[in-house]
Structure 1
Amino acid sequence: MSIYKEILGDQFEKLQPMLQKRYALPKGKPFEATGMMKKISGGPKWLLPFFLLGTRWKFLFPEQGENIPFKIVNTTRTGPSGEQQVHWERIFQFPKKKRYFNALMSLDADKSVVKDYLGEPSLFYSELIFIVSEGGHIRIESGKQRFVLGSIEIPLPAIFQGVVQVEEYYIEERDVFSIHVFITNPLIGTLFEYEGEFRADVF
């Protein structure tokens, strides 16, 4: 059973059937898809050095644009303590640069959240809450967050957090998944946003 099926419980069956298939992630069978981001945008220009630094960890990036080719690979792994993990590799092919937004997720069943470690090696941690919305869409919202320095994790006050909102759904008429990721901060406003569509390579 995938960590997403476990975290959603009975709600998993209310997802659109193709979303159920996408998030089932049987062991040894990665989900791979390609598509196009209609738009990718970020925060104010003074944040550019921080976003550029983030590229070293395959975390955030400063490039923005429209109609950016995109690839996603979700792979199930077994962690050092035997826990199930899902590696997320998200690749954005800009005209002159290939950028990544990678993460490693696992389950915290006691808290009913998915643990999301962003970057390689991990630079940022966020608890994620998974919700099935009306119409069978999947919605993801962030909870507690920490800055990661090796084995040290520093809790972030709400004012310094990136508030994450994600919505993903399936458009049957065109056989594509639609995704919208929106990250904001209480002081700065928009930090990072991308919106687009992708189609499974093999399903």
Structure 2
Amino acid sequence: MAASIYEQILGEAFYQLHPKLQQRYTFLQDRPFEAGGVMKRIKGVPKGFLPLGWLGTKRKLLFPERGEGVPFTLKNTPSVGKDGEAQVHWERIFYFGKTQRYFNALMRFNAKEAVIEDYLGEPPIVYSDLELAVEQGALLITSKRQRLLLGPVEIPLPSIFQGKATVKEAYIEEEEAYAISVQVKNPLIGTVFAYEGVFHHDDL
């Protein structure tokens, strides 16, 4: 079985991840990884930028809601793109009562440039290079170069307009659960979007 895009980008460092994270990011038998959990805290787009939040809901990317104890589901589906490169679709659904909000993306491995390409939204509206690292068994993901996607047109974004993401995913032995924290910051706005929670995958 071919190595996942995360194994390929991390190389030997992949085996420094907690064993449960290694299993999670190997995508055994090419099956989707499906899980459910609760966001302890989640902050949507700041109130002063609600148009950005409502626009995000149309592209399954950002949203204005916030709260505590918010249920969510996660689904990662590996596949092969038209160009033959491995890719993984990320679907994250947050349940605010009867309202569902999304934070979706498509990650691809660019073997030529040795980078994970992250296409955010559906259809994608923002592109970002991702840098992956391992720290004490946890997976760290940070966003780097970003571009605005307007159909076939790609516009490089100056740093002042970028939303820099920092993601940390770990495994908590005591709870037999995965812990996730995500924070997206902009130099002007501050925190654009953030969440912190835990999730379980019973079939792994």
The TM-score with structure 2 as length reference comes to 0.96
RMSD: 1.1
The residue aligned with 1:8 is 10
The residue aligned with 1:101 is 103
Q: What is the CA–CA distance in structure 1 between the aligned matches of 2:93 and 2:164, rounded to whole Å?
A: 22
The residue aligned with 2:44 is 42
CA contact (8 A) 1:42 1:190 kept: no
Query: Shift of the alpha carbon at 1:46?
Result: 1.8
Q: What is the CA–CA distance in structure 1 between the aligned matches of 2:109 and 2:68, rounded to whole Å?
A: 34
Query: Shift of the alpha carbon at 1:96?
Result: 3.1
Query: Shift of the alpha carbon at 1:109?
Result: 2.5
Q: What is the CA–CA distance in structure 1 between the aligned matches of 2:15 and 2:166, rounded to whole Å?
A: 22
Matched, 1:177 2:195: no
CA contact (8 A) 2:45 2:63 kept: no
- Superposed, 1:1-203 pairs within 5 Å as 1-26=3-28, 28-133=30-135, 135-203=136-204
**Which consecutive unaligned segments of at least 5 residues does structure 1 have?**
none
Q: What is the CA–CA distance in structure 1 between the aligned matches of 2:77 and 2:28, rounded to whole Å?
A: 9
Alignment length (residue pairs): 202
What amino acid sits opposite 2:176 in the alignment? D
Q: What is the CA–CA distance in structure 2 between the aligned matches of 1:100 and 1:44, rounded to whole Å?
A: 17
CA contact (8 A) 2:46 2:64 kept: no
Q: Could you tell which deviates more after superposition, 76-85 or 3-12?
A: 76-85
Instruction: Please list every run of at least 4 consecutive aligned residues from structure 1 whose deviation after the TM superposition is greater than 4 angstroms.
Output: none
SS in 2 for 1:5: helix
**Which consecutive unaligned segments of at least 5 residues does structure 2 have?**
none
Q: What is the CA–CA distance in structure 2 between the aligned matches of 1:24 and 1:130, rounded to whole Å?
A: 15
Query: Shift of the alpha carbon at 1:202?
Result: 1.6
CA contact (8 A) 2:45 2:52 kept: no
Q: What is the CA–CA distance in structure 1 between the aligned matches of 2:114 and 2:203, rounded to whole Å?
A: 31
Query: Shift of the alpha carbon at 1:55?
Result: 0.7
SS in 2 for 1:174: coil
Q: What is the CA–CA distance in structure 2 between the aligned matches of 1:176 and 1:80, rounded to whole Å?
A: 35
Q: What is the CA–CA distance in structure 2 between the aligned matches of 1:193 and 1:44, rounded to whole Å?
A: 11
Query: Shift of the alpha carbon at 1:27?
Result: 5.1
